[in-house]
Chain A
Amino acid sequence: MSLPFLLEIGTEEIPDWMIEGACQQLTRLFTEISMFHRIGPGGTSQAGVANTWTKATPRRLALYSAYVIARQGDTEELIMGPPKSAGPGAANGFARKLGVSIDQLSTEVTPKGEYLSFLKKIPGRATRDILSEALPELILKIQWPKTMYWTGKSGQRFIRPIRWIVALLDNQVVRFEVAGVKSGNVTSGHRILGAPEIPVASENYEQKLLENYVILSPQEREKRIRAGIGSASDEGLLKTLVNLTEFPSVISGTFESEFLKLPAEVLVTVMRHHQKYFAIYENGQLTNRFLAVTNTDGDPDGLIRRGNERVLRARFNDAKFFWETDQKKKLVDRVADLAHVTFQAKLGSYLEKTGRIERIVHDELGGDHAAVRAAHLSKADLTTELVKEFTDLQGVVGGLYAREQGEPEEVWTAIYDHYKPASMEDSIPRHPAGQLVSIADKLDTLRGCFGIGLIPTGSKDPFALRRSAQGIVKILVEGELRLPIRKLLHNDTKLEDFVLDRVRYYFKDIRGFKYDEVNAILASGWDDLVDVQDRLVAIQAVRPTENFEPLAASFKRIQNILKQAQFTGDGGSIDASLLEPGPETDLYQEFQNVRNRAADQPYRPALESIASLRPKVDLFFDKVLVNAPDAKIRQNRLTLLHTLLAEFSTIADFSEIVTNT
């Protein structure tokens, strides 16, 4: 018989960003115990998944399963006894130990002979008893990024205090206790609008919650918010608000149009990050309206709207005050003040960093006057009140001030953009000047930190060096900047390995190239990342053609042969007179043809030409013995193979290609 099961863990407000992960864990943990204890639905596990759900609000995690069986199936255990030959005394002893009569014993035939045995029947336990034992552990097994205790030292830990638990199997309470809270059938409604204590049953649980202003399903809450915000989209903010409310309503407010004179970036940051409002645009222009999501059933008296408007006005006034105060001192006059802002104890102040960025832009990256000017001003905004208040806007604020102060577009956009890309999804700086300043800034951080041994280990990367390295890679490739990256890394091997990892990650995980193609291409050099990209595109295109993979397999064979012969190619050039007529000479001639042809071709046709060698290579291996008895001939053949391999490994190391042959 299968029964409905409902579990609700009632808590104080769980941080919004943890709720989704907790739901996933709850599903997984419940599946684990139902499989372990064999209490899941009798049918396929598919049916179980279809009839189990988890839903959550900030104050509750709920799990429902439509079909939990009432009782575990019975099982049997075969208990082996003494050999039959041991006689009746031993048989009696065995039966006595088990508490059964001797005629209940049976005989097992084993390779060692006949043994007495007993088939013990173990009756299945009631699911209710199993759940009573398993659920406390299940609840406490949910992993959280940061837990607390609240019942006293060495008390149980959870994300926030657990205040009630509903656990119903077939609408009867499954009894247990966690952190002093006893399970029951009483839930709690919305803090303000709902009843504090509501008895529920499995079938009316969601409905009762809804009557008490709790929309259990995150999807439903999302729908409700989406309906209210219309075209104002901001997926990250939406998700936050879905998990910050139990009964979301969207209200709209306005602010004084005069604030629109402030940069949109500042206004949007205040609305989005500080107040969690949706900003509203019309024809690409920011308007003086905003949308807020409340945890209420609307705002009939307009009190909530007015309150939010007042808070926003105060925030905007602050920003306006900072914007105006900051303008009293030009960016260029703020550069000297950077002497008082520490970048890193051993790496000096931001003034020193600024000097280094300027030199890298000018001396190493070949930046023009605009790029050097932007580098000079790039960090000056760290001394402004606006950046101290809105740290997320570093760079952006500097760019805006530079624009106000009459810097040319190339300069102010370079300052504005130089922290980009903030992530792999973010775009790179829009103009070359910004790209160079961004690279120089990140390069300086990487060199400096590696120079003093601040090398990221595992998940520890306090200076976000991975992001810096990743940013450089992305800018070089997507900005099509043919700059010698290895030279820029000062040929520091640790730093090179670190950046190479990021190069690999970029092409493999971000751009979707196959890992063996990336390995093959990088093995042939990666000093110019634009070139790496060109070669990758070519190899990806040529790979499906018929000759390519077999040739790659042959190249691997060549490499193995050379390795076995410990041949490193110091033996001079190929002696054509030693070549045997037939497959060997054919290969040599074809090799020369291909070499000449490929030399002037772009990568893709060049790779196609190289792949066309395949029949000759195959024939060579078929008919010619590399390990010829004559040492001179053997040497010459190895030289031929070595030359072939070396010649064609400038585009890719084909032996890195993983083939099925």
Chain B
Amino acid sequence: MKLDIQGLSFAFGTKPVLKEISFDVPHGEFLGLMGPNGSGKTTLLRCIMNYLVPGMGSISIDEKPLDSFSPVALARTFAVVPQSSATDFTFSSYDIVMMGRIPHMASRLSGTSKADTVAVRKAMERTNTWQFAGRAFAELSGGERQRVIIARAIAQQPKALLLDEPTVYLDISGQIEIMDLLKKLNRDDGITVVAVLHDINLAARYCDRIALLSDGRLETIGLPADVLTPEMIQSVYGVDVAVRRDPFTGSIYVMPRSPVAAVHRHGTRVHILCGGGTGGPIMKALHDQGYSVTAGVVNVLDSDYENAKDMHIPVVAEAPFAPISQENHEENLRLIDESVAVVVSPFPVGPGNLLNLEAAKRALSLGKKVLLVRPESSANIDFVNGKGDAYIKDLISSGADAVRSTDELVSMLSGKAG
């Protein structure tokens, strides 16, 4: 089943909701519809299922216009899983799934056929809901209920599933359960899936493509990695994010950062000696306070390297897994020299990066303010037989200040160096 949308516009009264949307969904695709609240995702889904009739534009299924389908033919093409399916009436789960057979009934007076019971049982077994077939739908948990609704959609034997935020009220295990189920239906049965999704990471992991809507327009459509860029998310959602790759699935994931009110960029230079991902929170905190932050020396592939890159912080980078070279050490010292203060993050100390502590010592001798971040609960981070700890003790006795948290660091800096 190929879905083709051309120049679709829709308005509630005079308020335009969808503006000239065009895209197509090839057979067997798993498409995610995304966008901020009020961007028109649900309305678009309702237009596709012909529940709302667009003012302009056309929707066609396999080159045939949507309005040439009878309601029953349409019901055999699309099965819809709406956002919520609450009911005050005591239907059993079996009753609910059996409703999916309505488009297949031979006539209004015909009873339940063998094909109906078989389809219902199969749908309930696939969604792992058969064991509570007799239980009241209203008494099920959110995840169980959603699975029953999906079973109803499967019993409908559609060519495509349209889902409106299928995981919205579910906990994390429920979300994964539902998304895995949809992926399986998509892959094994060739059912095309079009789902409105809010969770960017779930969408990135499960969707073949993502269509991003913004204010009723189709902003972009494409592979998750091409659509979900920090720039695009910033422009559509207005949120600052970092995009990373999941080491296990290879799909991208997105980490939002709190939106920061514009700060006075006083530009006081602070250099951070870090590594092993311990520098990220410090970079973020100081950057948000308006400091000009630099960092070093970290290995490429270290998450502190990615943290610095995300925040456009100048960083002295060493080749992956290589010890700090003399050349980079010099560069590190140059940045320290340009700074007012130096912060030492609680990074793990090994033979490769001992020079970072040496750099801290040099900073003290240059008369720089040196601050050591030492969380009380920190694990042993010395992998050089006490050499690292010795360095730290030496630094403190030579006049470096130890702080316990990033917050303490910020107030210390603003009191003395800001």
Query: Does B bind A?
Result: no
- A residues near B (Cβ < 8 Å) are none
- B residues near A (Cβ < 8 Å) are none
